[in-house]
Structure 1
Amino acid sequence: MSNVIVAPEVRDLSRLADQLGRWLAVQIPGAQDVRIENLAYPFGAGQSHETILFDAAWRQDGRDVAQGCVVRIRPTRHTVYPDTLFEEQYRLMHLLHDEGRVRVARPLWFEPDAEVLGAPFFVMEKVKGRVAVSVPPYAQSGWVAEATPAQRARMWENGVRQLAAIQSTPLDKLQFLAGPAHARDGLAQEWDKYVRFVAWVQEDRPWPVLERAIERLKSSWPANQPAGVVWGDARLGNMMFDETFEVVAVMDWEQPSLGGALHDLAWWLFISGMMHGALPGARPTLEGMGTREETIALWGEVTGISTADIEWYEDFTALKICCLSIRTAGLRGHPLPDEAWLAQRLKVG
């Protein structure tokens, strides 16, 4: 498998090591001889935030300390989303780690001052594991494709159970994720976010197909709107697994909201269909992966939340993905999506 760096931008890592070393010496009381080593961009992931792995070492109270770290830097130019929820992302990870129901990397430090690295950033603990990358697609090559059906079945089940565990997070502790006054939480908050996204991508040129999709979704508004937290990019590729195919970290919390429990399930289903063929009524192209129907059943069993109207949320996910496709194509200088392709995805003729 070829290793591909996917990042919004890259920087001089030797200079970054110096910057992080000076900064870390201030963050750790009594730290001496701080060293930053082994800086590297992760392979196959990290398209919206600049994310860099490194190892830190120092002396403290007469002993040697070593800590594997990841720094995540707020985007300043190649912004994928209209909303920058950088501090909210860190606070959510901190809460999830403290609650212990969802496995997230331990947050270590948050730096709001852009003077240090050119933008705010945070550092979290580096977790050892493997990621089902998108570039190259995990269904075509790499450890997921090479796994046995039994191993993939274990990975799928553990992944869905962690996806479900997110909805056990107490919402009263998550009010920092509330939206604007007219769309504080629930479906109204998530809907408001993506209506604004549609307007944002149309600042360069009109996309009538997106407007038709909004009208179609409004005309079939779902009755089932369970409360819940939104992870935002809920997919297998944003989980890290150990050698036993157990989830060791759930990653990339950059677009959270209080928008409701079914958005993440719908996103997971949509991406599973794209990446390994888990489509309605079909067996996945990777043997061992659960079907769409099995995923819905397991998630519903674990959460106790009704999955009625999930098809509407999947159609809403299609609108979200189309907005992202337009935005990321423009950022990378790639050809914009074909309107006929978008119309097919959005079921608007």
Structure 2
Amino acid sequence: MEFDTSATAHLAAWFAGNGIALDGPPRLTLIAGGRSNLTYRVADGTGDRYVLRRPPTGGVLQSAHDVGREYRIITGLATTDVPVPVAHGLCTDETVLGAPFYVMSLVPGTVLAGDEDGAGYPLRARRGASADLVRVLTAIQRVDVDAVGLGDLGRRDSYGARQLRRWLRQFHLTTRRRLPLVEELHDQLERTIPPQRFTGLVHGDFRPGNVLLSPDGHINAVLDWELATLGDTLADLGWLVATWRQPGEAELLESPTAHPGFASREELVAAYQAGTGRDVSDLPWYQAFALWRLACIFEGIFVRYSTGVMGDDGVDPAAEGERVVRLAEAAREAFARLG
């Protein structure tokens, strides 16, 4: 979306009132690639300075796109081993930009969202980037949520059952078409939920596309915390593995990792086990759950782009709709591989 002169003036006044330095009026540029909250670079007379996050302009479901929650999480994690941007301010006054928003520091780094990103990332750094993803994932799971003020972020028990209910409800609230496979898979997953062995902070979308990488394979910051909650930490490992593409595989999702140098799924899991000592025998269920949840999420993306509330960043709504079906089919195939 575009911001008129009045909105820019309101934003400049908010920056000044919150002690956030600007050299001249702010200029906002939409960062392409986001599928949930809208993300903007904020520049002034000296160049790019900050990043602003706000919800979409419509089609927002209850509990989704909560930028206040994101702001709270990155503020809480500032003193931990989890790399996050510096949070500068949260605005809940919708008269400023028409929606709540928060501002954080602009962290240098490369986002590896799709295949071209992975191909262009230095070969020498790919192995290190794979290892650092696992290192940072384990750092997230080691966070003492009570000590950093996130202990009431959500319920800790019955994560699998709660997530299945939540995403089926979101799917029903979002969709405008009939996709019976999504409901069938929900029932199958619900009947086979594994016991919750490890509880902690769950990012909810931990993958290369949501971190900023340095040229040497180090993670400078973890982004996009809007789905974070408390619960079963194996869900993040299942998500990472389910979204990790290997050489020769068809591209179901945007993924940068189907190139030489990136670790295999088996190597990711082995590194996680070595770093945590945890039992991952239930991981196939979490992979099937991740793909099913992705189908539910992408149905929302399909609807938002179809109705024009996500701005014009080149996304084909029809392709997003087809992706939902392929994800549901992939989840069915993953579930069939369960012992």
- The bucket for the TM-score relative to the shorter chain is 0.7 to 0.9
Q: Which residue of 2 aligns with 1:168?
A: 142
Q: Tell me which residue corresponds to 1:229.
A: 201
* More contact order relative to length (CA 8 Å, sep ≥ 6): 2
The aligned residue for residue 52 of structure 1 is: 40
Tell me if 1:300 matches 2:273.
yes
Q: Which has the larger radius of gyration?
A: 1
2 CA distance for matches of 1:339 and 1:186? Answer: 23
Specify the alignment match of 1:258 in structure 2: 230
| Aligned residue number for residue 311 of structure 2 | none
Contact 2:51–2:106 (CA under 8 A) maintained in structure 1: yes
Q: What is the RMSD computed on CA atoms of the aligned residues?
A: 3.0
The match for 2:28 among 25, 33, 39 is 39
- In the alignment, structure 1 residue 345 sits paired with structure 2 residue 325: no
Q: Could you say which residue in structure 2 is the equivalent of 1:269?
A: 241
Query: Hey, what's the Cα distance between the residues in 2 that align with 1:19 and 1:76?
Result: 18
Percent identity, aligned pairs only, is: 25
Q: Per-residue deviation at 1:311? A: 0.5
* Matched residue type, 1:109: G
Note the C-alpha offset of 1:338.
7.8
Does the C-alpha gap of structure 1 residues 124 and 23 become closer, same or farther in structure 2, counting only changes over 3 Å?
same
> 1:111 is matched with which residue?
91
Q: Report the counterpart of residue 213 of structure 1 in structure 2.
A: 185
Mapped pair 1:159 → 2:133: yes
Q: What are the Cα deviations for residues 319-339 of structure 1, in whole angstroms up to 9, with x where unaligned?
A: 111112222222222333388
Q: Which residues of 2 match residues 1-349 of structure 1 at below 5 A?
A: 10-12=1-3, 16-28=7-19, 35-43=24-32, 45-55=33-43, 68-79=49-60, 83-99=64-80, 101-133=81-113, 137=114, 139=115, 141-142=116-117, 144-172=118-146, 173-179=149-155, 186-202=159-175, 204-273=176-245, 277=249, 285-333=258-306, 334-335=317-318, 336-337=321-322, 341=326, 343-347=328-332
Q: Distance in 1 between matches of 2:203 and 2:103?
A: 19
Unaligned runs of 5+ in 1: 1-9, 58-64
Q: How far 1:186 sits from its partner (Å)?
A: 3.2
1:62 corresponds in structure 2 to: none
TM-score by length of 1: 0.80
Indicate the SS of the match to 1:131.
Answer: coil
> Structure 1 residues 290-299 or 192-201, which shifts more?
192-201
Structure 1 residue 247, shift from structure 2 partner: 0.7
Q: CA deviation at 1:198?
A: 3.3
Please tell me the residue identity of whatever aligns with 2:270: A
Distance in 1 (CA, whole Å) between partners of 2:326 and 2:48 is: 47
AA matched with 1:174: L
In structure 1, C-alpha distance between the alignment counterparts of 2:177 and 2:76, rounded to whole Å? 40
Q: Which moved more, 1:85-94 or 1:111-120?
A: 85-94
Do the aligned partners of 1:224 and 1:309 also contact (CA within 8 Å) in 2? no
CA distance in 1 between counterparts of 2:25 and 2:174 reads 39
Shift of 1:53: 1.0
Q: Report what 1:3 is aligned to.
A: none
**Amino acid corresponding to residue 97 of structure 1 in structure 2:** A
CA contact (8 A) 1:56 1:69 kept: no
**SS of the residue 1:330 aligns to:** helix
Between the aligned partners of 1:278 and 1:224, the Cα distance in structure 2 is 32
Give the TM-score of the pair, scaled to structure 2: 0.82
Output one character per residue of 1:219-253: Cα deviation in whole Å (capped at 9) or x when no partner.
22213542121111111011101222211010000
- 1:4 alignment partner in structure 2: none
